[in-house]
Amino acid sequence: MKNLKLNALILALMVLFAACNDDDNGDPVNLPSASTINLDFDGLEDLGADFAYEGWLIVDGAPVSTGTFTVDGDGNLSQSEFEVEMETLESATTFVLSIEPVPDNDPAPAATKLFAGDFVNNSATMSTAPVAASFDNVGGSFIVAAPTGSGDESEAYSGIWFLDPEEGMSSLELPELNDGWKYEGWVVIDGVPVTTGTFTSLEGNDDSAPFSGDGPAPAFPGEDFLLNAPDGLTFPTDIRNRPAVISIEPFPDNSPAPFTLKPLFQTIPEDLDGMGPVNFGDYVEDSFPMGTVSRTIQ
Protein backbone atom coordinates (compact mmCIF):
# COMPACT_ATOMS: atom_id res chain seq x y z
CA MET A 1 0.00 0.00 0.00
CA LYS A 2 2.80 2.41 0.88
CA ASN A 3 4.51 1.70 -2.46
CA LEU A 4 1.27 2.43 -4.35
CA LYS A 5 0.91 5.79 -2.57
CA LEU A 6 4.56 6.68 -3.26
CA ASN A 7 4.18 5.80 -6.94
CA ALA A 8 1.02 7.89 -7.19
CA LEU A 9 2.82 10.88 -5.61
CA ILE A 10 5.75 10.59 -8.03
CA LEU A 11 3.34 10.38 -10.98
CA ALA A 12 1.47 13.47 -9.80
CA LEU A 13 4.70 15.42 -9.48
CA MET A 14 5.74 14.38 -12.99
CA VAL A 15 2.42 15.58 -14.41
CA LEU A 16 2.69 18.88 -12.52
CA PHE A 17 6.29 19.45 -13.74
CA ALA A 18 5.26 18.71 -17.34
CA ALA A 19 2.32 21.13 -17.07
CA CYS A 20 4.56 23.92 -15.78
CA ASN A 21 6.78 23.50 -18.82
CA ASP A 22 3.95 23.58 -21.38
CA ASP A 23 2.27 26.72 -22.71
CA ASP A 24 -1.51 27.00 -23.07
CA ASN A 25 -1.39 25.05 -26.34
CA GLY A 26 0.48 22.18 -24.77
CA ASP A 27 3.76 23.08 -26.46
CA PRO A 28 6.96 22.87 -24.35
CA VAL A 29 8.22 26.17 -22.92
CA ASN A 30 11.98 26.78 -22.79
CA LEU A 31 12.86 28.45 -19.52
CA PRO A 32 15.15 31.48 -20.14
CA SER A 33 18.81 31.19 -19.20
CA ALA A 34 20.35 33.86 -17.01
CA SER A 35 21.57 37.00 -18.79
CA THR A 36 25.15 37.88 -17.96
CA ILE A 37 27.66 40.70 -18.00
CA ASN A 38 31.23 39.68 -18.84
CA LEU A 39 34.32 41.68 -17.86
CA ASP A 40 37.59 41.58 -19.77
CA PHE A 41 40.01 43.93 -17.96
CA ASP A 42 43.77 44.25 -18.14
CA GLY A 43 45.94 46.28 -15.78
CA LEU A 44 43.75 46.44 -12.69
CA GLU A 45 45.64 46.10 -9.43
CA ASP A 46 45.10 44.59 -6.02
CA LEU A 47 43.26 47.08 -3.78
CA GLY A 48 44.02 45.27 -0.52
CA ALA A 49 41.50 44.18 2.09
CA ASP A 50 39.79 47.55 2.58
CA PHE A 51 38.53 48.18 -0.97
CA ALA A 52 36.94 46.30 -3.86
CA TYR A 53 35.87 46.99 -7.43
CA GLU A 54 32.14 47.22 -8.20
CA GLY A 55 30.41 47.26 -11.56
CA TRP A 56 27.35 49.37 -12.34
CA LEU A 57 24.85 49.46 -15.18
CA ILE A 58 23.25 52.81 -15.95
CA VAL A 59 19.55 52.20 -16.60
CA ASP A 60 17.29 55.20 -17.22
CA GLY A 61 19.97 57.39 -15.67
CA ALA A 62 20.20 55.37 -12.44
CA PRO A 63 23.00 52.99 -11.34
CA VAL A 64 22.28 49.30 -10.81
CA SER A 65 25.03 47.21 -9.21
CA THR A 66 26.28 44.13 -11.05
CA GLY A 67 28.38 42.99 -8.10
CA THR A 68 31.82 43.37 -6.56
CA PHE A 69 35.11 41.64 -7.24
CA THR A 70 38.74 41.78 -6.19
CA VAL A 71 42.00 41.52 -8.12
CA ASP A 72 45.05 39.53 -7.01
CA GLY A 73 48.70 40.49 -7.31
CA ASP A 74 48.86 39.06 -10.83
CA GLY A 75 45.89 41.10 -12.05
CA ASN A 76 43.43 38.20 -12.05
CA LEU A 77 39.80 39.04 -11.28
CA SER A 78 38.08 37.02 -8.56
CA GLN A 79 34.95 37.01 -10.75
CA SER A 80 34.51 38.17 -14.34
CA GLU A 81 30.93 37.07 -15.12
CA PHE A 82 27.82 38.29 -13.30
CA GLU A 83 24.16 37.35 -13.72
CA VAL A 84 21.82 40.29 -14.35
CA GLU A 85 18.05 40.47 -14.86
CA MET A 86 17.30 40.39 -18.57
CA GLU A 87 15.20 43.58 -18.62
CA THR A 88 17.88 45.48 -16.70
CA LEU A 89 20.63 44.34 -19.04
CA GLU A 90 18.59 45.13 -22.15
CA SER A 91 17.87 48.66 -20.90
CA ALA A 92 21.42 49.47 -19.81
CA THR A 93 23.18 52.19 -21.79
CA THR A 94 26.52 52.41 -19.93
CA PHE A 95 28.82 50.36 -17.72
CA VAL A 96 30.78 52.04 -14.91
CA LEU A 97 33.47 50.59 -12.64
CA SER A 98 34.01 52.14 -9.21
CA ILE A 99 36.28 51.52 -6.23
CA GLU A 100 34.26 50.88 -3.07
CA PRO A 101 35.17 50.56 0.63
CA VAL A 102 34.89 47.18 2.36
CA PRO A 103 32.53 46.97 4.17
CA ASP A 104 30.30 49.32 2.17
CA ASN A 105 27.15 50.67 3.79
CA ASP A 106 26.26 53.04 0.94
CA PRO A 107 24.12 51.50 -1.83
CA ALA A 108 25.18 54.22 -4.28
CA PRO A 109 28.45 54.26 -6.27
CA ALA A 110 31.45 55.92 -4.63
CA ALA A 111 32.92 59.06 -6.19
CA THR A 112 36.03 57.07 -7.15
CA LYS A 113 35.03 55.82 -10.59
CA LEU A 114 37.78 54.33 -12.74
CA PHE A 115 36.07 53.17 -15.94
CA ALA A 116 33.03 54.03 -18.02
CA GLY A 117 31.85 52.99 -21.46
CA ASP A 118 28.64 53.17 -23.48
CA PHE A 119 27.19 50.01 -24.97
CA VAL A 120 27.35 49.75 -28.74
CA ASN A 121 25.15 46.78 -29.51
CA ASN A 122 26.32 44.36 -26.78
CA SER A 123 29.83 45.63 -26.08
CA ALA A 124 31.26 48.64 -24.22
CA THR A 125 34.88 49.78 -24.50
CA MET A 126 36.15 51.17 -21.22
CA SER A 127 37.82 54.57 -20.87
CA THR A 128 39.22 56.50 -17.89
CA ALA A 129 36.93 59.46 -18.55
CA PRO A 130 35.58 59.26 -14.95
CA VAL A 131 39.10 60.10 -13.73
CA ALA A 132 39.66 63.10 -16.01
CA ALA A 133 38.17 64.29 -19.27
CA SER A 134 41.32 63.61 -21.29
CA PHE A 135 44.99 62.75 -20.94
CA ASP A 136 45.85 63.66 -24.52
CA ASN A 137 48.09 66.57 -23.55
CA VAL A 138 50.15 65.92 -20.45
CA GLY A 139 53.73 66.83 -19.69
CA GLY A 140 55.89 69.00 -17.51
CA SER A 141 59.20 69.25 -15.75
CA PHE A 142 60.72 69.49 -12.28
CA ILE A 143 63.78 70.88 -10.53
CA VAL A 144 66.12 69.03 -8.19
CA ALA A 145 66.92 71.16 -5.13
CA ALA A 146 66.41 71.25 -1.35
CA PRO A 147 65.10 74.72 -0.47
CA THR A 148 63.91 73.71 3.02
CA GLY A 149 67.40 72.50 4.02
CA SER A 150 70.41 74.22 5.50
CA GLY A 151 72.07 75.02 2.19
CA ASP A 152 74.84 72.50 2.79
CA GLU A 153 76.33 71.08 -0.39
CA SER A 154 75.45 67.52 0.73
CA GLU A 155 71.76 68.41 0.45
CA ALA A 156 71.93 69.93 -3.03
CA TYR A 157 70.27 67.01 -4.83
CA SER A 158 67.97 65.90 -2.02
CA GLY A 159 64.66 67.35 -3.19
CA ILE A 160 62.25 67.56 -6.13
CA TRP A 161 59.83 70.40 -6.89
CA PHE A 162 57.26 70.66 -9.66
CA LEU A 163 57.74 74.29 -10.58
CA ASP A 164 59.28 76.55 -13.20
CA PRO A 165 61.66 78.83 -11.25
CA GLU A 166 62.08 81.32 -14.09
CA GLU A 167 58.34 81.83 -14.63
CA GLY A 168 57.37 81.37 -10.99
CA MET A 169 54.56 79.01 -11.95
CA SER A 170 53.70 75.34 -12.06
CA SER A 171 55.77 73.24 -14.44
CA LEU A 172 53.12 70.53 -14.86
CA GLU A 173 50.59 70.09 -17.63
CA LEU A 174 47.91 67.83 -16.20
CA PRO A 175 44.11 67.79 -16.50
CA GLU A 176 41.80 68.62 -13.62
CA LEU A 177 40.79 65.43 -11.83
CA ASN A 178 37.22 64.45 -11.07
CA ASP A 179 36.02 63.76 -7.53
CA GLY A 180 37.57 60.72 -5.88
CA TRP A 181 41.09 61.19 -7.30
CA LYS A 182 44.32 63.03 -6.42
CA TYR A 183 47.74 63.41 -7.98
CA GLU A 184 50.75 62.18 -6.04
CA GLY A 185 54.45 62.71 -6.67
CA TRP A 186 57.07 60.02 -6.05
CA VAL A 187 60.79 59.39 -6.18
CA VAL A 188 61.83 55.73 -6.17
CA ILE A 189 64.88 55.60 -3.86
CA ASP A 190 66.77 52.30 -3.72
CA GLY A 191 63.65 50.52 -4.94
CA VAL A 192 61.37 52.20 -2.37
CA PRO A 193 58.70 54.60 -3.71
CA VAL A 194 58.80 57.67 -1.45
CA THR A 195 55.94 60.14 -1.68
CA THR A 196 56.33 63.86 -2.28
CA GLY A 197 52.69 64.43 -1.24
CA THR A 198 49.26 64.41 -2.84
CA PHE A 199 47.69 67.38 -4.60
CA THR A 200 44.77 68.43 -6.77
CA SER A 201 45.95 71.94 -7.63
CA LEU A 202 49.14 72.37 -9.66
CA GLU A 203 49.98 75.48 -7.66
CA GLY A 204 50.10 75.84 -3.89
CA ASN A 205 51.56 73.42 -1.38
CA ASP A 206 50.65 69.76 -1.55
CA ASP A 207 48.92 67.92 1.30
CA SER A 208 51.97 67.00 3.38
CA ALA A 209 55.71 67.52 3.88
CA PRO A 210 56.89 64.56 6.01
CA PHE A 211 60.53 64.68 4.94
CA SER A 212 61.25 68.39 4.38
CA GLY A 213 63.36 70.60 6.61
CA ASP A 214 62.47 73.75 8.52
CA GLY A 215 63.25 76.24 5.75
CA PRO A 216 60.55 77.97 3.67
CA ALA A 217 59.07 75.70 1.02
CA PRO A 218 57.99 76.87 -2.44
CA ALA A 219 54.23 77.20 -2.85
CA PHE A 220 54.10 74.25 -5.22
CA PRO A 221 53.92 70.47 -4.93
CA GLY A 222 57.26 68.88 -4.07
CA GLU A 223 59.41 67.52 -1.26
CA ASP A 224 62.89 67.61 0.23
CA PHE A 225 64.23 64.27 1.46
CA LEU A 226 66.08 65.52 4.53
CA LEU A 227 64.38 64.12 7.65
CA ASN A 228 62.39 61.11 8.90
CA ALA A 229 63.70 58.64 6.32
CA PRO A 230 61.59 55.48 5.88
CA ASP A 231 63.07 52.25 7.20
CA GLY A 232 66.03 51.14 5.12
CA LEU A 233 66.78 54.60 3.70
CA THR A 234 69.06 57.43 4.84
CA PHE A 235 68.31 61.14 4.39
CA PRO A 236 69.61 63.50 3.08
CA THR A 237 70.08 61.54 -0.13
CA ASP A 238 71.10 62.30 -3.69
CA ILE A 239 68.08 61.50 -5.88
CA ARG A 240 69.91 61.68 -9.19
CA ASN A 241 69.61 58.52 -11.27
CA ARG A 242 66.32 57.72 -9.49
CA PRO A 243 62.88 57.52 -11.16
CA ALA A 244 60.48 60.43 -10.64
CA VAL A 245 56.78 59.66 -11.07
CA ILE A 246 53.44 61.44 -11.01
CA SER A 247 50.60 59.02 -10.26
CA ILE A 248 46.85 59.38 -9.91
CA GLU A 249 45.58 57.94 -6.65
CA PRO A 250 42.09 56.92 -5.51
CA PHE A 251 40.84 58.96 -2.59
CA PRO A 252 40.60 57.67 0.04
CA ASP A 253 43.76 55.60 -0.56
CA ASN A 254 45.01 52.82 1.71
CA SER A 255 48.17 51.89 -0.21
CA PRO A 256 51.66 53.30 0.44
CA ALA A 257 52.66 52.54 -3.17
CA PRO A 258 51.77 54.33 -6.42
CA PHE A 259 48.46 53.37 -8.05
CA THR A 260 48.41 51.92 -11.55
CA LEU A 261 47.63 55.29 -13.19
CA LYS A 262 51.01 56.96 -13.87
CA PRO A 263 50.77 59.70 -16.49
CA LEU A 264 54.31 61.05 -16.02
CA PHE A 265 57.67 59.31 -15.53
CA GLN A 266 61.31 60.27 -15.89
CA THR A 267 64.60 58.99 -14.51
CA ILE A 268 66.53 61.94 -13.04
CA PRO A 269 69.79 62.28 -15.01
CA GLU A 270 72.78 60.87 -13.16
CA ASP A 271 74.99 63.66 -14.53
CA LEU A 272 72.58 66.50 -13.72
CA ASP A 273 74.62 69.62 -12.97
CA GLY A 274 72.55 72.24 -11.20
CA MET A 275 68.89 71.98 -10.41
CA GLY A 276 67.51 71.58 -13.93
CA PRO A 277 64.75 71.78 -15.06
CA VAL A 278 64.34 68.15 -16.08
CA ASN A 279 61.56 67.33 -18.53
CA PHE A 280 59.23 64.42 -17.97
CA GLY A 281 59.19 61.80 -20.70
CA ASP A 282 56.24 60.86 -22.85
CA TYR A 283 52.83 60.10 -21.42
CA VAL A 284 52.99 56.61 -19.90
CA GLU A 285 49.90 55.24 -21.63
CA ASP A 286 50.85 51.64 -20.90
CA SER A 287 50.33 52.28 -17.18
CA PHE A 288 46.61 52.85 -17.70
CA PRO A 289 44.32 49.81 -17.44
CA MET A 290 42.12 48.83 -20.37
CA GLY A 291 39.06 46.70 -20.84
CA THR A 292 35.79 45.82 -22.51
CA VAL A 293 32.47 44.73 -21.10
CA SER A 294 30.09 42.51 -23.05
CA ARG A 295 26.54 41.46 -22.34
CA THR A 296 24.79 38.22 -23.19
CA ILE A 297 20.99 38.51 -23.15
CA GLN A 298 19.06 35.24 -23.08
In the chain, the domains with their CATH numbers are: 35-131+289-296 (2.60.40), 139-282 (no CATH)
Is the pLDDT score of 174 beyond 90? Answer: yes
Q: Which residues contact 118 (CB under 8 A, 6 or more apart)?
A: 93, 94, 124
What's the rounded mean pLDDT across residues 214-236? 97
What pLDDT, on a 0 to 100 scale, did the predictor assign at position 252?
Answer: 92
For residues 204 and 200, give the distance between their C-alpha atoms in angstroms, rounded to a whole number: 10
HSE-CB for 279 with a 13 A CA cutoff: 5
What's the rounded mean pLDDT across residues 78-98? 97
HSE-CB for 270 with a 13 A CA cutoff: 1
Is the pLDDT score of 205 beyond 80? Answer: yes
What pLDDT, on a 0 to 100 scale, did the predictor assign at position 192?
Answer: 97
Residue-wise burial string across 206-237, b where 16 or more C-beta atoms lie within 10 A, e elsewhere: beebebbbeeebbebbbbbbbeebeeeeebbb
- pLDDT category of residue 284 using cuts at 50, 70 and 90: low
For residues 144 and 281, give the distance between their C-alpha atoms in angstroms, rounded to a whole number: 16
Task: Give the rounded percent of residues in the chain with a pLDDT score beyond 90.
Answer: 84
Distance set, CA 297 to CA 34, 93, 109, 184 (Å): 8, 14, 24, 42
What's the rounded mean pLDDT across residues 262-284? 91
Q: What is the pLDDT of residues 14-72, one digit of tens each?
A: 333 333 444 444 444 444 457 999 999 999 999 999 999 999 999 999 999 999 999 99
What pLDDT, on a 0 to 100 scale, did the predictor assign at position 281?
Answer: 87
Is the pLDDT score of 6 beyond 60? Answer: no
